[in-house]
């Protein structure tokens, strides 16, 4: 062997895949329109999926098989439109599984002291972020009555997710889903990381893209968007690679493994793919990867 032959370099570990938008299969209660929609997605009856994946250990194994290293698990309190997955359900489901990251939900019509409730969920019960559902819960995101909640989230240094854009569920009101509302929030809460869930799906792709480029604390989240259509929806998709976060909307996207592979197959730089599939999310969540 040559004495001066260089040693082979160690392989560079790839960025973990982080799915930023996962629902429980077993809600406490589904609306009829939500249940009917879920039943159309997969040849396997949804009740079978619900029964199988209500066990967190089975679900973590499923995520690993699909190539997901971490998943954000979302509570939902939208009794008018979609259903109820309580904070308690999500807390219990994630407990003991570091790869499952619990995000709370607050319905502003069901709580009296929003900042206090958020502090309890984050500080005392370990939630890592908050998701709000304006189109399902019927409020404008830039309503200043919600500003104390946003101020508390900023102080707690947790990310905040908002549903934006269209919805197929009966009772949803799209007027609350315009990404333009987050221009106010980005200016008024510059240290609060905000994710525009579904990236303005349908009407407002251009607004979500522009706002994410404009504001350092605004991010596009691509749950429910077919990867094969991303470059059509966002012709300059790769230019925003630092501000785009992968998410599946499982079980709304049943073939999670295929969904991830389609992201990897996009004609964009591998470095951009790594950022989208996990790098950006790790930064937002404060994960050491």
Q: Each residue of 1-31: pLDDT tens digit?
A: 344 444 444 344 478 999 999 999 999 999 9
The residue-averaged pLDDT of 24-42 equals: 94
In the block, tokens 């998701």 appear at 131
Of 168, 181, 223, whose CA–CA distance to 22 is shortest? 223
Residue 68 within any structural domain of the chain: yes
172 in a domain, yes or no? Answer: yes
Mean pLDDT for the chain overall: 94
For residue 7, being part of any structural domain is answered with: no
Parent domain of 221? 18-285
At residue 210 the predicted structure's pLDDT band, cuts being 50, 70 and 90, is very high
Is 212 a member of any domain? yes
- Give the pLDDT confidence score for residue 1 in this predicted structure: 39
Using pLDDT thresholds of 50, 70 and 90, give the confidence band for residue 84: very high
Cα 110-115-117 angle, rounded to 5 deg = 55
- The distance from CA 134 to its chain's CA centroid, rounded to whole angstroms, is 15
The answer to the question of residue 10 being in a domain is no
- The answer on pLDDT for 182 being more than 70 is yes
| pLDDT at residue number 289 | 65
Q: Is the pLDDT of residue 215 over 60?
A: yes
What whole-number distance in Å separates Cα of residue 238 and Cα of residue 32? 38
Look at residue 216 in the predicted model and tell me its pLDDT. 98
Q: Supply the pLDDT for residue 4.
A: 46
Mean pLDDT calculated for residue range 146-167: 97
Q: Please report the pLDDT score of residue 12 as a whole number.
A: 42
Specify the pTM: 0.94
Position 6 in a domain = no
- What integer pLDDT is reported at residue 14 of this predicted model? 76
Instruction: Provide the domain count of the chain.
Output: 1
Q: Is residue 235 in a domain?
A: yes
Q: Does the N-terminal peptide bond of residue 273 adopt cis geometry, omega within 30 degrees of 0?
A: no
Count of CB atoms within 10 A of residue 113's CB? Answer: 11
The answer to whether residue 2 is domain-embedded is no
d(CA 146, CA 115): 9
pLDDT of 115 higher than 60:
yes
For the chain, what percent of residues have pLDDT higher than 70?
Answer: 95
Please state the separation of Cα 10 from the chain's center in Å: 33
Give the pLDDT score at 29.
Answer: 95
Q: Which CATH number does the domain housing residue 182 bear? A: 3.20.20.140
């Amino acid at each position: 062997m040559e004495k001066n032959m260089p040693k082979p370099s160690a392989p560079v570990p790839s960025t973990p895949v982080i799915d930023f938008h996962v629902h429980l299969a077993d809600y406490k209660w589904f609306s009829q329109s939500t249940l009917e929609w879920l039943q159309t997605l997969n040849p396997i009856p949804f009740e079978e999926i619900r029964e199988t994946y209500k066990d967190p250990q089975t679900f973590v194994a499923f995520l690993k098989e699909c190539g997901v290293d971490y998943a954000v698990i979302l509570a939902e309190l939208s009794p008018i439109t979609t259903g109820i997955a309580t904070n308690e359900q999500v807390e219990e489901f994630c407990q003991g599984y570091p790869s499952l990251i619990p995000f709370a939900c607050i319905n502003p019509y069901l709580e009296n002291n929003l900042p206090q409730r958020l502090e309890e969920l984050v500080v005392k019960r370990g939630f890592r972020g908050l998701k709000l559902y304006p189109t399902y819960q019927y409020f404008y995101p830039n309503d200043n009555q919600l500003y104390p909640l946003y101020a508390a989230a900023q102080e707690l240094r947790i990310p905040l997710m908002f549903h934006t854009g269209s919805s197929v569920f009966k009772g949803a009101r799209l007027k609350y889903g315009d990404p333009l509302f987050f221009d106010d929030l980005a200016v008024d809460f510059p240290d609060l990381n905000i994710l525009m869930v579904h990236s303005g799906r349908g009407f407002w792709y251009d607004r979500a893209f522009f706002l994410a480029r404009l504001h350092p604390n605004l991010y596009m989240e691509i749950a429910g968007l077919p990867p094969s259509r991303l470059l059509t929806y966002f012709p300059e998709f790769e230019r925003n690679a630092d501000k785009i976060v992968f998410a599946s909307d499982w079980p709304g996207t049943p073939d999670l493994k295929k969904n991830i592979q389609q992201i990897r197959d996009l004609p964009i730089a591998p470095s951009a793919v790594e950022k989208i599939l996990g790098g950006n999310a790790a930064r937002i969540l404060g994960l050491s990867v």
